[in-house]
Amino acid sequence: MAEATSENVVWHAGHYDRAERWDHLGLHGATIWFTGLSGSGKSTVAVEVERLLVDRKQPTYMLDGDNLRHGLNGDLGFTAEDRNENVRRVSEVARLFADAGVMALVPLVSPYRAGRERAREIHKAADVPFFEVYMDTPLDVAESRDPKGLYKLARAGKIENFTGISDPYEAPVDPDLVLEPGMGRPKAMAHMVLEMLGENGLLR
Amino acid sequence: MAEATSENVVWHAGHYDRAERWDHLGLHGATIWFTGLSGSGKSTVAVEVERLLVDRKQPTYMLDGDNLRHGLNGDLGFTAEDRNENVRRVSEVARLFADAGVMALVPLVSPYRAGRERAREIHKAADVPFFEVYMDTPLDVAESRDPKGLYKLARAGKIENFTGISDPYEAPVDPDLVLEPGMGRPKAMAHMVLEMLGENGLLR
């Protein structure tokens, strides 16, 4: 957890602690962090996971990197510093959602190992389950999909700091789950995510 | 909603829109924003509201200004600028929680009218229910409670920018609910909040 720089801040635990809240609500929260190149399928799989979980009456929320940039992180750009702050804020918000008993889905390029490790640490410090899912889609496959036409712009030099082209992607060392294009369609991959949650006792 | 300053950001709606999610989950989300002086009873009433809602199996989460300052907003202080950014971020996060179908409880001094209006606008733009609850506790009552010993420090000049002492509190003009010390104990006040939610069709 980040050190509070502000003085005179007192922690309010509330009457119900998390175990009591989760127990009363019959819920478990967790953060599922999808990392990989643009076009690797993070959002597509996350949307399928959302559908499967909501159909099981499990409160679930997509903390899409793009969506958040329209609001909370609308003040941030794509420099290394701003990407780090983006990852930090998304980590903190996901941690709050998971603490609330919601499944927080985070499809976010998050190209730097240190940033993802920080996300894991933020969750660990709060004893909140965290899973790193690595969308291991090779650059040529992701680029051939180019769903937003961004690779084209990046190759033309019209986007700077573009992961995989002009900025590095540091692959996870020990992810909780690796999904590769050959493993099936997005829905099949989503079922693998649910299986992982089930094995950890996190499904309703 | 804040304008995204970043380019190349595409909005992902996901397969289920909010109405579908709320419908499948049987949930309604809303933000309940408690404003008032330190010691006015915001957190105390919010904790009672949390208990009542959780007992009704309604996912609820306390976005306590103090709690958030240990994480997401740990980089912010108490200058007017930092307070504004604090209110902005809390507003955005509360909006996300409410959008997820969670009751977001925000006990936050939020002394400036403009900041609270911005919170309301952020919710309105996303069509998310927002309620401003004004804890109308006079300064002398709040100061006599002084639960964190902060008024004492502020009077001694050991805390700067302290609302009510060295910084202004701008009372709400048209709050959704006003709670005064004479209206009963915290639990009775919490029931008034639930009544307001019920009248707006937001209880399960």
- Least confident piece of the model among A66-70, A104-108, B185-189: A66-70
For residue A72, give the nearest of B43, B76, B92 by CB distance.
Answer: B92
Is B55 in the A-facing interface, judged by CB distances under 8 Å?
Answer: yes
Report residue B80's pLDDT band, with 50, 70 and 90 as the boundaries.
confident
Pick from B16, B89, B102: CB nearest A102: B102
A3 band by pLDDT with thresholds 50, 70 and 90: very low
Q: Which residues of A touch B12 (CB under 8 A)?
A: 43, 47, 62, 64, 66-67
Query: Would you call B6 and A76 a contact, using CB atoms and an 8 Å cutoff?
Result: yes
C-alpha torsion sign, points B13, A130, A115, A166: negative
Backbone angles phi, psi at A38, to 5 degrees: -60, 135
Note whether B74 contacts A: Cβ–Cβ < 8 A: yes
The pLDDT-based confidence of A5 (bands split at 50, 70, 90) is very low
**Degrees to nearest 5, angle at CA B48 with B43 and B50:** 90
Residue A183 host element (H or E): none
Looking at per-residue confidence, does B9 or B201 come out higher?
Answer: B201
B-contacting residues in A 117-156 (Cβ below 8 Å) = 122, 148, 150, 153
Mean pLDDT score across all residues of chain B: 90
Contact A74/B153, CB-based, under 8 Å?
no
Can B144 be counted among the known catalytic residues? no
Output the pLDDT for position B64.
85
Q: Given this model, what pLDDT does residue B14 score? A: 52
Rounded to whole angstroms, the Cα distance separating A132 from A196 reads 11
pLDDT over 50 at A149, yes or no: yes
Contact A100 B15 (CB under 8 A): no
- Which chain B residue is nearest to residue A71, measuring alpha carbons? B2
Q: Is B93 an 8 Å CB contact of chain A? A: yes
Mutate which of A92, A95, A105, A118 to disrupt the B interface (most B C-beta within 10 Å)?
A: A92
Q: What is the pLDDT of residues A83-141, one digit of tens each?
A: 889 999 999 999 999 999 999 999 999 999 999 999 999 999 999 999 999 999 999 99
pLDDT at A172 over 60: yes
Angle of helix B80-100 relative to helix A80-100, nearest 10 degrees?
50
For residue A81, name the pLDDT band (cuts at 50, 70, 90).
confident
pLDDT at A165 over 80: yes
A77 touches chain B (CB under 8 A): yes
Do A53 and A98 touch, CB atoms closer than 8 A?
Answer: no
- pLDDT for B70: 83
Residue A77: band (very low, low, confident or very high) from pLDDT cuts 50, 70, 90: confident
In this predicted structure, the answer to whether residue B204 has a pLDDT above a threshold of 60 is yes
Residue pointed to by tokens 């009542």: B52
* Catalytic center residues of A: 110
What number is the average pLDDT over the span A162-177? 95
Alpha helices (H) in A15-162, listed in sequence order: 18-25, 42-55, 65-69, 80-100, 113-125, 139-145, 150-155
Alpha-carbon distance of A133 to A184, in angstroms, equals 15
Q: Give A65's pLDDT tier (boundaries 50, 70, 90).
A: low
Least-confidence region, from A68-72, A171-175, B176-180: A68-72
Domain annotation for chain A: domains and CATH numbers? 26-199 (3.40.50.300)
pLDDT (mean) for B51-79: 88
User: ipTM of the assembly?
Assistant: 0.89
Query: Chain A contact for B10, CB < 8 A?
Result: yes
> Taking CB atoms and an 8 Å limit, are B95 and A62 in contact across chains?
no
Long-range contacts of B201-204 (CB under 8 A, 24+ apart): B201/B28, B202/B28, B202/B30, B202/B103, B202/B129, B203/B28, B203/B56, B203/B58, B204/B26, B204/B27, B204/B28, B204/B56, B204/B57, B204/B58
B73 against B8, higher pLDDT = B73
Residue B188 confidence (pLDDT):
96
Distance CA(A35)–CA(A23), nearest Å, equals: 31
Give residue A46's pLDDT band: very low, low, confident or very high (50, 70, 90).
very high
Q: What is the mean pLDDT of residues B45-64?
A: 95
- Give the Cα separation of A118 and A2 in Å (integer): 10
DSSP string, A85-122: HHHHHHHHHHHHHHHHT-EEEEE-----HHHHHHHHHH
User: Does residue A13 have a pLDDT over 60?
Assistant: no
Query: Cβ(A131)–Cβ(A32) under 8 Å?
Result: yes
Q: Would you state the pLDDT for residue A66?
A: 60
Q: Is A27 on the interface with B (CB under 8 A)?
A: yes
Set of chain B residues whose Cβ sits within 8 Å of the Cβ of A97:
96-97, 100
